[in-house]
């Protein structure tokens, strides 16, 4: 079993929606074992994936936590498909631009 964490600028609901499309019956065909507002569990292919999301109030965006067994490559592909969280410096650029 491997645990991963990533940060994205997407909201928690959008991350769960994308996970369902990527791993679920319409994607890789894994069965949805359990689904909640901030967590979804998939099972199939001799392994499983649990994705939990948490709103990151300090940095903006969402923290994505994934626990997986036997799905290393596909989990990495999913995480790579999520837009990265902008740095704090870049988040301030529009504000600075208004004063220049």
For 93, phi then psi, to 5°, come to -55, -50
pLDDT one-digit tens code per residue, 22-79: 999 999 999 999 999 999 999 999 999 999 999 998 888 999 999 999 999 999 999 9
- pTM of the predicted protein model: 0.84
Under CATH, which number does the domain 2-99 receive?
A: 3.30.310.80
Average pLDDT over residues 6-35: 97
pLDDT one-digit tens code per residue, 48-60: 999 999 999 888 8
Query: Which class for 88: exposed (0-12), middle (13-18), buried (19 or more C-beta within 10 A)?
Result: exposed
What strands lie across the sheet with 47-55, from one edge to the other? 2-8, 62-69, 47-55, 39-44, 31-35
Task: Please report the pLDDT score of residue 62 as a whole number.
Answer: 97
Assess contact for 25 and 19: CB atoms under 8 A. no
Task: Please report the pLDDT score of residue 88 as a whole number.
Answer: 54
CA dist., res. 26 & res. 12, Å (int):
20
Task: Please report the pLDDT score of residue 98 as a whole number.
Answer: 43
For 92, phi then psi, to 5°, come to -85, -10
């Amino acid at each position: 079993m491997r645990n991963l964490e990533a940060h994205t600028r997407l909201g928690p609901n959008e991350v769960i929606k994308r996970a369902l499309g990527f791993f679920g019956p319409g994607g890789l065909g894994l069965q949805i074992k359990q689904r909640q507002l901030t967590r979804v569990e998939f099972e199939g292919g001799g392994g499983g994936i649990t994705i939990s999301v948490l709103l990151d109030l300090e940095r903006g965006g969402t923290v994505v936590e994934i626990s997986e067994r036997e799905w290393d490559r596909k989990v990495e592909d999913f995480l790579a498909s999520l837009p990265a969280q902008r740095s704090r410096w870049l988040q301030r650029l529009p504000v600075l631009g208004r004063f220049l």
